[in-house]
Amino acid sequence: MNVAADRTRGARRTTPRRGPAAALLSGALVLAVLTGCSNSEPTLPEVTRATSADAGVVQTAPDGVQEITLETGDDYAFTPAAFTVAPGPVRLTVRNTAEQLTHNFLFTEGKGPAQIVEQIPFLGPGDSKTIEFTAGAPGDYPFECSFHLALGQVGTMTVSAP
């Protein structure tokens, strides 16, 4: 325990008891502060999540498959929201570091040059799931978390030209 804390405890011990008037006054101050706070507009959680170093890095596994890991959390974002792979097999992991939010991952229907049907239908807090698919025609493949599509949880996978 540090010295400052000890000093505070000592001071509290020697403080004379306050009367009911003082208690009422401090209660009124607390109310005033709370009322002040309630004026602020509700906002979406900030993206303060720290992303792991491996997120978004496309690597080739020993079996020759391209691997990439995306992260999401207690916000409405994929990190990174954009990445590029070469045509060929892809092993994509989505890691949900959230304590509260459940997400999913799917390629947006009817948007890319071809439909990639593999998806992660449900990714609970703390879960990490992997799908494998083949990246075919070059172009941009939009993906989304359909639970939070309205909150802008989307991204784009680009398949480069061969």
Site residues, Cu ion (CB under 5 A): 103, 145, 147-148, 153
Task: Indicate the residue among 133 and 147 with the shorter CB distance to Cu ion.
Answer: 147
Minimum separation from the CB atom of position 56 to Cu ion (A): 17
- In a 13 Å sphere around the CA of 23, the CA atoms on its Cβ side amount to 5
DSSP state of 123: E
Looking at the Cβ atoms of 95 and 103, the one nearer to Cu ion is 103
Of residues 27 and 124, the one with the C-beta less far from Cu ion? 124
Q: Name the minimum Å distance from CB 116 to Cu ion.
A: 18
- Please report, for residues 21, 31, 46, the alpha-carbon distance to residue 38 in angstroms, rounded to integers and kept in the order given: 26, 11, 18
Closer residue to Cu ion (CB): 95 or 148 = 148
List the Cα angle 55/59/64 in 5-degree steps: 145
Residue nearest to Cu ion as judged by C-beta position: 145
Distance in Å, CB of 96 to Cu ion, minimum: 8
To the nearest whole angstrom, how small is the minimum distance from the Cβ of residue 101 to Cu ion? 6
Q: Position 106: which residue type?
A: L
Q: For residues 86 and 162, is the Cβ–Cβ distance under 8 A? A: yes
